[in-house]
Structure 1
Amino acid sequence: MAPHMDRPGYWGHLTSTIDWCEENYVVSFYIAEFWNTVSNLIMILPPIYGAIQTFRDGLEFRYVCSFLGLSVVGVGSWCFHMTLQYKMQLMDELPMIYSTCVFVYCLYECFKQQNKIGFIPIALLLFFSVSVTLVYLHWKEPVFHQVMYGTLVACLVIRSIYIVTWVYPWLRPLCYTSLGIFMLGFFFWNMDNFYCGVLRNARHNLPPVVGAVTQFHAWWHILTGLGSYLHILLSLQIRTTYLKHRPKVKFLCGVWPTLHIEPVPQKTS
């Protein structure tokens, strides 16, 4: 999307290679894209809770990294949309690659011995991450980043569907819910890109609160944040089931899904 400056703001002239459909500095002088910024809270706070819960349960550190990686993406995206500065854009886009590499490692190493480190997958994913980073720093083409990120997501989808089809079919609801929510977010992302002019015109004729609902890139954050979080729960449930734990999904405050490890009942003589 071509960069534009709707109103002057605290962070000055934008330097990012992308500017999204939300009008700049309309809600706040200090936040370039208000709704695209605050919508990242769903990618910041719940994964932090998930990382703490995973650590408390004594589960493998790779899953703590998964939750924290998603939270780092949320922080980077917050900074990017708040400032529309190129350095902050990199803080958003590159962690998307790194965190998804962690997701890929967890899912493709889920049927290995406990605490066993797969050095070959780590080396391959590290090489991929470094290569994408070096290319993207020299070739500032957002489509390149999007294709590389999409490739990693495709690896996750293929592996997830294989597992819930042939290994743990009772996990299909969680798998397809995660995938469906993520794809819905991708749909909103495309709508925001292709119909920006229509959406902007509609906002001018709607009350501010109603117009906020048309911020489809913010919906992309919300839905993909939730979809990614559910994917981590799926990956963690696959792993803990394989390790003979007793994983159980519970809902925090009756709303937000979390994974708890039930204690194994002691055998009585």
Structure 2
Amino acid sequence: MAPSVSHAHSDPSPPGGFWGPPTSTLDWCEENYFVSVFVAEFWNTVSNLLMILPPIYGAIRTSRDGLETRYVFAFLGLAAVGVGSWSFHMTLQYEMQLLDELPMIYSCCIFVYCLLECFKRENSINYIMITILLGFSVAVTVVYLLWTEPVFHQVMYGVLVFCLVLRSMYVVTWVYPWLRPLCYTSLGVFLLGFILWNVDNLLCDTLRAARLRLPPVIGAVTQFHAWWHIFTGFGSHLHILLSLQTRATYLKRRPRVKFICGVWPMLHAEPRRRS
């Protein structure tokens, strides 16, 4: 994921590897091709596994529970961001950068739709809202392809996140206050990732110098952009669960949270009651 402007830190790593010199408009603090000649940014790449595998399982679980397809798309959208981010950090090629950044807009539009439609009749479709969000996605895509300014992408992504925060706060303040812990945890985890992302940008030269003196394993822990992937992926996953639990509660499906391996939360809803 890359909602950022590029930094101008000097990179002591080789100028190219298996994928050739970077062509992306962004390059991150992790030293290029330092771990493997086949992966430009190793830790920024593999950290995306937690943004790919759990959402895929979530999509399968949601489909099996018979919940609405929009939530399957929400999970798959998050997984698509993870795949795009993996491709971008592995290659640092401009085309892969777009595969990372644009799905962030598209998946957030799905999140917005799901949360705005939580209190409608089952399987209802709001064509007006879909048209608005689709138009927004197309407009952002066209502008960003013509004007390759990362700040523009950052602002558009921020607008969507702001909408999600406002709607989430409405739900847990006025409708289902007992969902506040899940909502606040989601926001807190995302905020922690954002803080670490800023530390990685602002203190890049210091972090790179420290890694030269630290053992490799400890140095890997200082790859804060990789932690951004982990925390924002987890925060986004919790947001989908918040939206799902709100929807399933409204539909009287008695949702409950289960944990994969005692760590990663998933939501299970009871089957529809037949009249």
TM (norm. structure 2) is 0.94
Q: Distance in 1 between matches of 2:83 and 2:12?
A: 23
Secondary structure at the residue paired with 1:258? Answer: strand
Q: Rate the CA distance shift 1:252–1:266 in 2: closer, same or farther, 3 A.
A: same
User: After TM superposition, where is structure 1 displaced by more than 2 Å over at least 4 residues in a row?
Assistant: 2-5, 262-267
Q: Any residues of structure 2 matched to 1:134-173 within 5 Å, and which? A: 134-173=142-181
Asked if 1:2 corresponds to 2:39, the answer is no
Deviations 1:200-258 (A, max 9, x none): 11111100100001100000000000000000000000001001111000112222111
Q: Shift of residue 261 of structure 1?
A: 1.1
Asked if 1:125 corresponds to 2:125, the answer is no
* Contact 2:66/2:271 (<8 A) preserved: no
- Match among 47, 50, 53 for residue 58 of structure 2: 50
- Match among 181, 189, 195 for residue 187 of structure 1: 195
Q: Rate the CA distance shift 1:122–1:204 in 2: closer, same or farther, 3 A.
A: same
Unaligned runs of 5+ in 1: none
TM (norm. structure 1) is 0.97
Query: What is the total number of aligned residue pairs between the two structures?
Result: 267
2:267 corresponding residue in structure 1:
259
Report percent identity of matched pairs.
72
Q: Distance in 1 between matches of 2:12 and 2:123?
A: 50
Q: Distance in 2 between matches of 1:265 and 1:167?
A: 24
Secondary structure at the residue paired with 2:67? Answer: coil
Q: Distance in 2 between matches of 1:234 and 1:212?
A: 32
Secondary structure at the residue paired with 2:257? Answer: strand
Deviations 1:177-214 (A, max 9, x none): 00000000000111111111111111111001000011
Q: Distance in 2 between matches of 1:238 and 1:232?
A: 10
Asked if 1:222 corresponds to 2:225, the answer is no
Q: Distance in 1 between matches of 2:265 and 2:59?
A: 13
Q: Distance in 2 between matches of 1:58 and 1:65?
A: 13
Give the letter for the 1:93 counterpart.
E
2:102 corresponding residue in structure 1:
94
Q: Shift of residue 262 of structure 1?
A: 3.0
Q: Shift of residue 102 of structure 1?
A: 0.1
